[in-house]
Structure 1
Amino acid sequence: DVNERANIAGAGINIAQRVMDCGDAGHILLSKHVAEDLQHYSEWRPYLHDVGQCEAKHGEVISIVNLYTSELGNPEPPRLKRPQSEVRRRRRNALLFAGASLVVLAAVGLFLLPRASARKIEKSIAVLPFQNLSDEKENAFFADGIQDDILTNLSKIGDLKVISRMSVMSYRGDGVRNAREIGKTLGVASLLEGSVRRIGNRVRVSVQLINANNDEHIWAEDYDRDLTDVFAIQTDLAQKIASSLQAKLSPNEKARLDRRPTQNSDAYLLYLQAHDYASRMDDIHGAQAKAVPLFEQAIKLDPNFALAYADLSIAQSWLYHSSDPLPAWREKARLNADEALRLQPDLPEGRLALGFSYYYGDRDYERALAEFETARRGLPNEAQAYLAIGSIQRRQGKWDESNANLEKAAALDPKNISILVNLGFSYIALRNFAAADKIIDRAIAMQPNSFETVGLKAMSVAMRGDLELAEKQLSSVGETDSNGVITYMRFWVLILQRRFSEALAIAQKFSGQALRTESTAPAPKSWLTGTAHFLQGDKETAQTEFAQALVVSEKLLNEAPQDPARHAQHGLILAALGRKEEAIAEGKRAVELLPESQDAFDGPQATATLAKIYAWTGEFDEAFRLLDHLVKIPNGVAVPILKLDPEWDPLRKDPRFQALIEKYAAKG
């Protein structure tokens, strides 16, 4: 009633005054209570950013949220820690003119928004993992595949918000599901649950649509069909859900839903198995390698299976990019993407595949971006499209646009560790460690034992110079290390701490010949042991180890002669062996293959390696010239690392080194 609204408004103004004390010019700050109300509305969620607690007037502590978009508000964290007298004195006028009206609107007008919009049907859904009720438990991939295909069909509807597969798979299992909690975590108003039973060529699919706000069942449906009719089930469900949520279907979207990817049920089963492997995040290389032959078998049974060609191409591009940069993968990825689009020119997944082929295979970012944008229009809820677009924009140096698309990907797939790790990398590159920590901590909360997340947190902490905390982070992960990523990270932190004998012991424990690293080429084990011996002063043993490392490095380089990271690694080893001219040539070759003008994300790493080669070969002028540039740019050289890393010791006695540290100390 009117009196209740007046009381709400009065309280809102009181809150606004207290919240206003915490902001700087341009901020739109909300109390935590208001922000929680807005979280129920999908259009607001991407713009709400928790910034912690603020001490307001009379010492009162309040929790606040910063609301901003690319065009509105102030994305910088408020300066919360200043004494309040100083805060008010230094920016009272600016805040009153630039932010006060916005704060009052946020606290009062937006507070009333839930009432005004109470009858609105929010068009958002998560398709939870289906139960496998088949007698053959190995058919779990089939239940997952049906769920994923229904999800994919829904994701083609632009008027719906659909949560991606990776974020819903954590709800797999027979335990009791709390619809309200799941809806709140994933940011959706509706959930689809279901079960699948397959007996021979007969399929029974049972589903129910649930209101996530009150746990009420909206409707339930059972389907008993032949396996060949499974696509009709998926189409019918997508249309029924769209109707229930009042989502509009365009003619193109309806046509896509009606299209069957294959008429061959055996090919479809093989495709589901392959897709199950391709979607796994643990042991990505091994999973993709298992997916490839299954996709190929599906295509052999149905040579017109365009979707299988597209997904095969994406798996091959990923193998080329992530761990196995052999020309054969690149060529096959392009051929299969082209074939998918020849068979079905308007297939969005085909555009996605061709985009990855240009991106990973050719580093042709403009053509890749064009394909990803086309794919996004056909798959408006596909988080991978936004992730790919954001990743390319990052390489183009368009950091704000990149982060906006990565944030969008995270909103569509909020429990996808890979997306959060990518976003964390971006914030680390920008030296926005507070934002990086927030994202990485969110990922660690989901997977506390994942080295990918814990290792990234250790990197973030180490780059600020807190090596003790970095080591503590790494100790939380088990000792098992089949590919060397954990060993490499622990070795690096110990080297930075100048604990060379411990670093040597860590490297010697690794059983393989080369270690995978997070962002560079595979590192020969003998390169690590040689480095530790050299820094301990045992130069004779170091030279023997470096000579062995060179043999491994040459083999790696011959496998992928266009890989800039392998040229950079090779140049470092040559520099350690005293082969100056060859070392510099390899370092320059790495920069030529990956110039910063072409890649603002990885390019600086090639430049940094060349700077290190110059330092090791006595070309100090060139080393300082590059370092003066690298400490100023995203993903260059962090000043705390420059201060600590013994690999920069050749420059340390030069007066220019300390001058550089002092000049850029504030950059971090």
Structure 2
Amino acid sequence: DPAADKRVDFYSFGCVAYELFTGHPPFFGRAPQAILAAHLTEVPPPVETVAPDVPPHVAKLIDRCLSKSAGDRPQSGREILEVLDAVQSPHRIDAIGKKRADWRMLAGAGALLAVMVVGYSFARRAPAAAGATPVRAKAVAVLPFTDTGGESSEAYFADGMADELIAALGKVPELSVASRRSAFALRQRSDLDIPSIGRLLHVDAILEGTVRRAGNRLRVTAQLTGTTDGLALWSDSYERDAKDVFAVQDDITRSIVGALRLRLGTGQRQVTTNLSAYDDYLRGAYALEQRGPGVRQSVELFNSAIAKDSSFARAYGKLSEALEFLPYFAGVSAASLELRAVTAANKALALDPSTAEAHIGLALALGHAFRWRESDRHFQLAIAADSNNAVARTQYGRHLLHQARIPEAIEQLKRGVTLDPLSGTQVGWLAYAHALNGQLPLALGELATAREKFGGLDLVRQMSAQMFLRAGKNSQAIELARTISSTVGFHGQGCYVLGKAGEREESSAIIREMLALPDTTWLKHTALAYCYFGIGDNDKALRQMELAFQAREITPKWMPFGDPLFDEVRGSPRFASVVHNFGLDEKLFTSPNLGRPAK
């Protein structure tokens, strides 16, 4: 803040003095975000009420230093020194009537604080001394910023601030940034302190902050804290016009990079100068992250942002990504979306070739069109543009699984879990890859942990049911299969487990339900193929896979051809034809046991 002066340092001095004399910092015992908000909006309990033995004039000084208004704080270091000098006067101590031994300690504290006053302002802004060991954080997490305005309708803006900082820091060489999903999952975890968050997210530093937007004014505070010792590495506050939001984001990024002694990447983020377009973009990103109905809503918002600024590269990129998630969350055929997604992605890349989301959208669109080699290339380009993008890592891992490139898939999925350890999707796909790699006990263990944390996620329940089935634990498999969503794709996977586990009548009832659906129902034939494999009717299962290809269903994305469920038909010419139609390697997928480790 250009208007900040030494009185900002006196506030920091007051925080140190408060902790020294009371035994704990102001606003002690709250969540990190709540502490930041309190520093902006609340006055801490007066020192005299927390530590009655502190001399009244010292207590009053500390309280003045912690005033919210800079005008109410001491106006010079001399004012502070004059008060602290009195602490060291024997007749002053005797007059207070306290034990001499106790006040020797306080006199020493006063002397220490006096020295701090002299050097504090300079030390806070000075560069590291020659030969000093700089802070080197290799991994950072950006926690969701707190909206101190209290308007729930503005929550997306505070989240958007954190999103933008995640994107910007993701471009810093040598720095790993925890994914948005994992960091934001801790929003309600007030029981976790900074070191605990660091261990959970595998990071060395935490960035947190507050945002308040009122009319045309914007106020942002941010603090970077080391997770090993909980000490602040950097903090600052900004009060600007709302239109300066991008400059604030850049300032914070540069400050963090400087605090960590790293260097900025050479690429510049392409943003918009249209605040209304940016607002829609943030709302869209927020909706997309919620998945489910939010995916369709995000498409509308990204389109709105583009209508307001046709040169907004990242809005085009996010639009392409969102469109390619609709086949999973909105029952829309991939073929009907391909042209729109590819057009949006290409527009984004024409405006900004480093837009990772555009490469993800292209990779998904090409994969859904069974153009696997081209899809592979764009996944690699997405990771090159943003190596910290957990979505790119996980979707690339899935892509590699569908081609039976299991070790490579595990490598990408492990990276995805490291970046996003609180995502059930990431953990579920990694467990599935381990199972395909002959590591069923490891997969069962990972899925057990996933069920504890993400038990409501269909993907986790479905994969757990299949692994229980593979391990011969049919009762657990049946119990989980009955809890899987009745949406067509997942319903078919549950139907397979029920049939294989001996619940043939229940599985047959699901088949009758699905046969009654219109043939245009998205993923109907893929789901029926699952069902028929479950009851052992392989001919009908293969017929449904043939129909699925004719309907352009993304069958290999829902039932990877390397899965053991296909082992009974690998020698079938019909299966070889199905594999060929979907553009995959028929020689590989028709080989006995697919080269997997022997059971």
TM-score, length-normalised on structure 1?
A: 0.60
Match of residue 229 from structure 1: 244
Q: Confirm whether residue 336 of structure 1 aligns to residue 294 of structure 2.
A: no
Pairwise CA distance, 1:571: 9.0
Matched residues in 2 for 1:584 and 1:422: separation? 25
Matched residues in 2 for 1:600 and 1:451: separation? 13
Mark the CA change 1:634 to 1:373 in structure 2 (over 3 Å): closer, same or farther. same
1:456 to 463, 473, 487: 463
Match of residue 419 from structure 2: 412
Deviation per CA, 1:154-204: give whole Å up to 9, x if none. Answer: 011122111110111121138254011111111111111111111123211
1:140 to 155, 160, 166: 155
Is the partner of 1:328 in helix, strand or coil? coil
Mark the CA change 1:438 to 1:584 in structure 2 (over 3 Å): closer, same or farther. closer
Match of residue 175 from structure 2: 160
2:277 to 257, 267, 278: 267
1:269-668 matches, cutoff 5 A: 269-280=279-290, 284-320=291-327, 323-360=331-368, 362-473=369-480, 481=485, 483=487, 492-500=496-504, 503=506, 528-529=508-509, 545=512, 549-550=514-515, 552=517, 554-556=519-521, 565=526, 568=529, 587=545, 602-604=560-562, 608=566, 611=569, 632-633=593-594, 667-668=598-599
Matched residues in 2 for 1:240 and 1:667: separation? 54
Deviation per CA, 1:387-421: give whole Å up to 9, x if none. Answer: 23322222333211221111111112221211111
Amino acid at match of 2:357: E
More displaced stretch, 216-225 vs 368-377: 368-377
Amino acid at match of 2:405: K
Mark the CA change 1:136 to 1:402 in structure 2 (over 3 Å): closer, same or farther. same
Is the partner of 1:296 in helix, strand or coil? helix
Amino acid at match of 2:255: K
Deviation per CA, 1:310-355: give whole Å up to 9, x if none. Answer: 1011011111356422432122111111111222234333333322
Matched residues in 2 for 1:572 and 1:470: separation? 16
Amino acid at match of 1:183: G
Matched residues in 2 for 1:399 and 1:289: separation? 32
Q: Confirm whether residue 125 of structure 1 aligns to residue 133 of structure 2.
A: no
Pairwise CA distance, 1:374: 2.1
Pairwise CA distance, 1:552: 2.3
Pairwise CA distance, 1:152: 1.0
Matched residues in 1 for 2:486 and 2:356: separation? 36
Native 8 Å contact 1:395 1:600 kept in 2: no
Match of residue 96 from structure 1: none
Q: Confirm whether residue 191 of structure 1 aligns to residue 206 of structure 2.
A: yes
Number of residues of Structure 1 aligned to a counterpart in Structure 2: 450
Native 8 Å contact 1:320 1:330 kept in 2: no
Is the partner of 1:633 in helix, strand or coil? helix
Pairwise CA distance, 1:308: 0.5
Q: Confirm whether residue 215 of structure 1 aligns to residue 230 of structure 2.
A: yes
Question: Which entry has the higher C-alpha Rg, 1 or 2?
Answer: 2
Amino acid at match of 1:554: D
Native 8 Å contact 1:553 1:569 kept in 2: no
Mark the CA change 1:225 to 1:634 in structure 2 (over 3 Å): closer, same or farther. farther
Native 8 Å contact 1:134 1:197 kept in 2: yes
Q: Confirm whether residue 173 of structure 1 aligns to residue 180 of structure 2.
A: no
Native 8 Å contact 1:631 1:667 kept in 2: no
Native 8 Å contact 1:274 1:295 kept in 2: yes
Mark the CA change 1:232 to 1:491 in structure 2 (over 3 Å): closer, same or farther. same
Matched residues in 1 for 2:426 and 2:189: separation? 27
Q: Over aligned residue pairs, what C-alpha RMSD do you find?
A: 3.9
Native 8 Å contact 1:588 1:610 kept in 2: no
Deviation per CA, 1:360-386: give whole Å up to 9, x if none. Answer: 3x2222222222222222212112222
Pairwise CA distance, 1:568: 4.7
Amino acid at match of 1:334: V
Pairwise CA distance, 1:465: 1.5
Amino acid at match of 1:289: R
Matched residues in 1 for 2:502 and 2:542: separation? 27
Pairwise CA distance, 1:572: 8.2
Higher RCO (C-alpha under 8 Å, 6+ residues apart): 2
Pairwise CA distance, 1:500: 4.8
Match of residue 202 from structure 1: 217
Deviation per CA, 1:231-255: give whole Å up to 9, x if none. Answer: 11111111111111111224x23xx
Deviation per CA, 1:215-267: give whole Å up to 9, x if none. Answer: 111221111122211111111111111111111224x23xx1xx441111011
Native 8 Å contact 1:348 1:378 kept in 2: yes
TM-score, length-normalised on structure 2?
A: 0.66
Matched residues in 2 for 1:172 and 1:220: separation? 20
Mark the CA change 1:367 to 1:485 in structure 2 (over 3 Å): closer, same or farther. closer
Mark the CA change 1:272 to 1:399 in structure 2 (over 3 Å): closer, same or farther. same
Q: Which stretches in structure 2 are left out of the alignment for 5+ residues?
A: 1-131, 574-586
Pairwise CA distance, 1:437: 1.9
Match of residue 249 from structure 1: 264
Native 8 Å contact 1:553 1:570 kept in 2: no
Amino acid at match of 2:345: A
Native 8 Å contact 2:570 2:590 kept in 1: no
Native 8 Å contact 2:493 2:530 kept in 1: no
